[in-house]
Amino acid sequence: MTKLRWGMIGGGEGSQIGPAHRLGAGLDGAFEFTAAALDHRPDAGRAYGQTLGLAADRSYGDWQEMLAGERGRHDRIDLVTVATPNATHFEITKAYLEAGFHVLCEKPMTMTVEEGEEIVRIARTTGQICAVNYGYSGYSLVRHMRAMVARGDLGAIRLVKAEFAHGHHADAADADNPRVRWRYDPAQAGVSAQFADCGIHALHMASFVIGQEVEKLSADTVSCIPSRVLEDDAMVNMRFDGGAVGRLWTSSVALGRQHGLTLQVFGEKGGLRWSQEQPNQLFWMPLGGRLQTIERGEAKLSPEADRTSRVTIGHAEGMPLAFANIYLDLAAAIRAHAAGHPVDPAADLYPRAEDGLRSMAAVFAVAASGRDDGRWVDARPPMFRG
């Protein structure tokens, strides 16, 4: 099967996220790294692209040059990943969708709800795939949790509890560190800091696993380090459209926590518990039964889990392989799109523009509720309120 051509904007030398994308996109042989604009410094971006094996004429100085160069080629890229600073996501994603490219955008997809709704409309109008990189939903056992909920193993879902809490911004002496300070500055980060950075990952995972969307929420947001304008800790209560209750805690001052992404789901017939720092084990407690450990790589767990597990049981799979599963989904979707046939449901699980829009609506809802002493607010984007 011919490889799909893949391009990247951002994620250059020294980037935290760039290597994970390049590993993920190339892992299964579905994509060939073909074009990129990797750095805000044109010469540095061109040079680094060529060290990664790109042809000189496809290692571009900026995203506009890349768009102009790729759109007229007979061998143009099939998918572009946008991994630039948050405030640029909307402009770049919009331009590439309108030019007929499929896009995978890092989160947050946009900085406002209005921009998010525009991206959704453009994707629907053009028919192009617009995905958002909630990459933690690519873990094999997260897919299996979703499958267990969908097939009724837990019965009706009563409660979901999500956490994304770390302690890496707990030092008040970092108040003037530019790598930290911008995250809590409304002029650069927008209306939210910690919830917009980490909380939306936990929220997306909760919705993804239980198959329900948040309708309303109540938030308690605080700046534990007083010099910060935006929150470094948030507790959010939620109500989902399928009747589930949600609890979400996110923090950047939780000393002793490293990454801290966890999910627990409690239904009428059983409960599940998973942690991203130990992603190869899933704990399952059936009602009236004994606590069981489900291991990634066990045979015949579910189609969703089986297709996204590559390494023999007992050998850890981590974040780059979760990202690889998002790219595996996108490869299937792009090939199906070109052929005009439907995608296998077990492969049709990549996060969409609609998910990015819902996340941004939740960010603004959390900010509004936090300012108003936890008042319950509608968390749905206006275009989804019927």
pLDDT(114) > 90: yes
pLDDT(373) > 90: yes
Distances (CA, A) of 57 to 68, 70, 223, 300, 352: 12, 10, 48, 46, 31
Percent of the chain predicted with pLDDT > 90: 94
pLDDT digits (tens, 9 = 90+) for 132-155: 999 999 999 999 999 999 999 999
- Domain segments of the chain: what residues? 4-136, 139-311+352-378
Domains 4-136 and 139-311+352-378 share a fold: no
CA 325 – CA 334 distance, rounded (Å):
14
pLDDT(176) > 90: no
Under the banding of pLDDT at 50, 70 and 90, the label for residue 175 is confident
Under the banding of pLDDT at 50, 70 and 90, the label for residue 120 is very high
Q: What angle do CA 184, 185, 187 make, to 5 degrees?
A: 150
Closest CA to 104 of 199, 45, 163, 30: 30
Say what the pLDDT of residue 386 is: 78
- Give mean pLDDT, residues 160-180: 92
Class of domain 139-311+352-378: alpha beta
Of the options 3.40.50.720, 3.40.50.300, 3.90.228.20, 3.30.300.130, the CATH number for the domain spanning 4-136: 3.40.50.720
User: In 328-343, which positions are buried (b, 16+ CB within 10 angstroms) versus exposed (e)?
Assistant: bbbbbbbbbbeeeeeb
SS3 of the chain: CCCEEEEEEECCCCCCCHHHHHHHHHCCCCEEEEEEECCCCHHHHHHHHHHCCCCHHHECCCHHHHHHHHHCCCCCCCEEEEECCHHHHHHHHHHHHHCCCEEEECCCCCCCHHHHHHHHHHHHHHCCCEEECCHHHHCHHHHHHHHHHHCCCCCCEEEEEEEEECCCCCCHHHHHCHHHHHHHCHHHHCCCCHHHHHHHHHHHHHHHHHCCCEEEEEEEEECCCCCCCCCCEEEEEEEECCCCEEEEEEECCCCCCCCCEEEEEEECCEEEEEECCCCCEEEEEECCCCCEEEECCCCCCCHHHHCCCCCCCCCCCCHHHHHHHHHHHHHHHHHHHHHCCCCCHHHCCCCEHHHHHHHHHHHHHHHHHHHCCCCCEECCCHHHCC
CA 126 – CA 224 distance, rounded (Å):
45
Q: Phi and psi dihedrals of 367, rounded to 5?
A: -60, -45
pLDDT(1) > 80: no
Which is higher by pLDDT, 14 or 380? 380
Say what the pLDDT of residue 329 is: 98
**Mean of the per-residue pLDDT values of the chain:** 96
pLDDT digits (tens, 9 = 90+) for 38-87: 999 999 999 999 999 999 999 999 999 999 999 999 999 999 999 999 99
CA 183 – CA 194 distance, rounded (Å):
8
Say what the pLDDT of residue 118 is: 98
pLDDT digits (tens, 9 = 90+) for 74-96: 999 999 999 999 999 999 999 99
CA 384 – CA 288 distance, rounded (Å):
39
